[in-house]
């Protein structure tokens, strides 16, 4: 699922720093979950998805079909 978030962020042309600002976190927070050093809970996953204009449910469905 994180791969889907990363792909969606890049497709939206949003940097890690911009995403961090949108969700009220630092760029390092984004980097850590993208590298797998930190997990996102469900609420954080939805917040990040919406911050990049992605449908969190579609990302989850796509991850299930991989």
Q: Where are the domains of the chain?
A: 2-65
Total residue count of the chain as it appears in this document = 66
- Whole-angstrom distance, CA of residue 64 vs CA of residue 25: 28
What band does 65 get if pLDDT is binned at 50, 70 and 90?
Answer: confident
- Nearest CA to 46 out of 30, 57, 37 is that of 57
Read off the tokens for 60: 């989850």
Question: pLDDT (tens digit, 9 = 90+) per residue, 5-58?
Answer: 999 999 999 999 999 999 999 999 999 999 999 999 999 999 999 999 999 999
- pLDDT score of 43: 97
- pLDDT score of 48: 98
- pTM of the predicted model as reported, rounded to 2 decimal places: 0.91
Q: Which CATH class is domain 2-65?
A: mainly alpha
Q: Can you state the percent helix, strand and coil of the chain, rounding each to 5? A: 70, 0, 30
Q: Which residues, other chains included, contact 27 with Cβ-Cβ below 8 Å and sequence gap of 6+?
A: 15, 16, 17, 20
- pLDDT score of 33: 97
């Amino acid at each position: 699922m994180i791969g889907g978030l990363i792909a969606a962020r890049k497709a939206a042309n949003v940097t890690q720093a911009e995403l961090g600002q949108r969700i009220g976190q630092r760029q390092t927070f984004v980097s850590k979950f993208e590298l797998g050093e930190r997990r996102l809970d469900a609420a954080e996953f939805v917040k990040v998805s919406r911050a990049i204009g992605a449908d969190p449910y579609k990302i989850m469905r796509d991850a299930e079909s991989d």
